[in-house]
Amino acid sequence: MDRNSKGQLKDVIKQEYVKCASDPVYFLKKYCMIQHPIKGKVPFSLYDFQEKTVGEFVNNRFNIILKARQLGISTLTAGYSLWMMTFHQDKNILVIATKQEVAKNLVTKVRVMHANLPSWLKQPCVEDNKLSLRYKNGSQIKAVSSGEDSGRSEALSLLILDEAAFIEKIDAIWAAASQTLSTGGQCIALSTPNGVGNWYHKTWMDAQDGLNDFNFIKLFWDVHPERDQTWRDEQDKLLGPSLAAQECDCDFITSGQTVVDGKILDEYMRTQVCEPIEKRGVDSNVWIWSPPNYTKDYIVCADVSRGDSTDYSAFHIMDIESLEQVAEYKGRMSTRDYGNLLVNISIEYNNALLVIENNNIGWATIQQCIDRGYENLFYMSKDLQVVDIHRQVNNKINRMEKGLVPGFTLTQKTRPLVIAKLEEFFREKSVKVFSQRLIDELFVFIYNGSRAEAMRGYNDDLVMSFSMGLWIRETALRLRAEGIELQKKTINSITTNQGVYTSDNKQNNPWTMTVDKKQEDLTWLI
């Protein structure tokens, strides 16, 4: 090749380089190869929706993508990362995913594209391993698994949250990593939905309402030009209607494995949830929807914080008959102060039955209530046979004889019963719930295997205290009904077995018996 030809080639390469540097779509379509699962290495031929998505990456610092399955968005994000690293110096890109293996897959896609670039486009590597790739120009990409400290200590040019809705402790991750983006870094959060109430869902909804800095991108199944209604119908058969709605239609409500059906929770959100009429306390966390009505009976069900920074104390006040939520608390305070709050608000609501979970630190709060002399404190037998919200056993001797302990104990036996009652009442829409906080917790209260609990990184304090109240109320009614029949049988035996429960002499009043030469009235048994 003569000198003129070489010069012309250099000019062409220079022009191409400049064009690639200024247009990531052109770069990806003309020079990038991807690994197809069947065809092997193929050119990255972008669809229209993928080209538009790259344009959104360029024009917006923060992007949140709600996507259907298998649209190639992870691959597209890898290509955009490669473009940044190739044409910019000192770019620091971090990929966070549910597992390190998932994050590593995105780095692998970058590596495949890099390896197949023409030599004049390829940046020299100074570090290349399974989890990271670093160029001589100082740009790098690194993969990590989810953890509260992920991205905390490094200044980031681009943060990629892959399957963001499924990342554990993502609230803490975002709180830490977002600080490292303050100098102008970008973020791409992409995911299919995983229920509502979690960080991804809230961020998406706030983005739609213009309440944060995220640009929202919707990519449902039908953006793909090769998919039609026949394909969509086939997904219902393969995945089932619920999972297909999540994976194809990006339906938040049907996604996730919530204990209470998401559609029911959505209906509660639309028809019942409302602002309280009053917010009390130094932290304004005592929410009141209805003042005490002195013709009604109330139950106060309380969960006590373990004392760590991730846990809350919580209580609900419910109308026993109507099952209407009238008040709620969620916050943090000492066991002594919490005990005083519970006693004060129980007195205010007609000396309500006060039920306190007695696990762990709950005993300290219960003791404070006992020290205050609160009389309508809930006692329960360990065998679950004594639960009566209208007649508590206040005599210490009777409590000991019946094997009663103060408070409610959540055990392997009682916990499934309590949660089953919660699901039943919501399914039948038998409860009136006004709290946004409670509904938010229910949206992230899921089946993790066979155990019902909050998603990792979230709380279920309001859910469990509300569940306790429903179970105690329902169980009390059932046992009371059974008890009435038992009491009738006992009273009948008293009237027919003279000399056992009564004196040998016929008495004028059959509802009395002689005890220490005194007549004991038995009508209270009726």
Per residue in 277-307, pLDDT (tens digit) is: 999 988 899 999 999 999 998 999 999 987 6
Whether the CB-CB separation of 278 and 290 falls below 8 Å is answered with no
Residue for token pair 């897959």: 105
CA neighbours closer than 13 Å in the CB half-sphere of residue 59 = 9
pLDDT band for position 254 (cuts 50, 70, 90): low
177-192 average pLDDT score: 89
> pTM for this one?
0.63
| Per-residue model confidence (pLDDT) at position 499 | 35
| Per-residue model confidence (pLDDT) at position 198 | 83
Task: Confirm whether 3-247 and 262-479 share one CATH topology.
Answer: no
Q: How far apart are CA 502 and CA 436, in angstroms?
A: 58
Question: Helix or strand or coil: residue 248?
Answer: coil
322-344 average pLDDT score: 94
- Name 59's Cβ contacts closer than 8 Å, sequence gap at least 6: none
Q: Which CATH superfamily is domain 3-247 in?
A: P-loop containing nucleotide triphosphate hydrolases (3.40.50.300)
- pLDDT of 139 over the 90 cut: yes
345-372 average pLDDT score: 91
Whether the CA torsion 64, 70, 73, 78 is positive or negative: it is: positive
Show me where the domains of the chain are located: 3-247, 262-479
Helices (H), ranges, 140-222: 170-177, 199-208
pLDDT band for position 387 (cuts 50, 70, 90): low
Residue 422 tokens read as 């919660």
pLDDT band for position 374 (cuts 50, 70, 90): very high
| Per-residue model confidence (pLDDT) at position 182 | 81
Residues 472-495: b if buried by 16+ CB within 10 A, e if exposed? bbbbbeebeeebeeeeeeebeebe
| Per-residue model confidence (pLDDT) at position 400 | 64
Residue 118 tokens read as 């023409």
* For the ranges 254-258, 369-373, 508-512, the one whose mean pLDDT is highest: 369-373
Helices (H), ranges, 295-429: 335-348, 362-371, 396-401, 414-427
466-516 per-position pLDDT tens digit: 999 998 888 777 666 665 554 554 445 444 333 333 334 444 555 565 555
Q: How far apart are CA 194 and CA 68, in angstroms?
A: 12
408-423 average pLDDT score: 87
Residue 44 tokens read as 């990255």
- pLDDT of 12 over the 90 cut: no
| Per-residue model confidence (pLDDT) at position 494 | 43
- pLDDT of 157 over the 90 cut: yes
- pLDDT of 440 over the 60 cut: yes
| Per-residue model confidence (pLDDT) at position 497 | 38
- pLDDT of 114 over the 60 cut: yes
100-123 average pLDDT score: 91
Q: How far apart are CA 420 and CA 237, in angstroms?
A: 30
Architecture of domain 262-479: 2-Layer Sandwich (3.30)
43-64 average pLDDT score: 95
- pLDDT of 136 over the 50 cut: yes
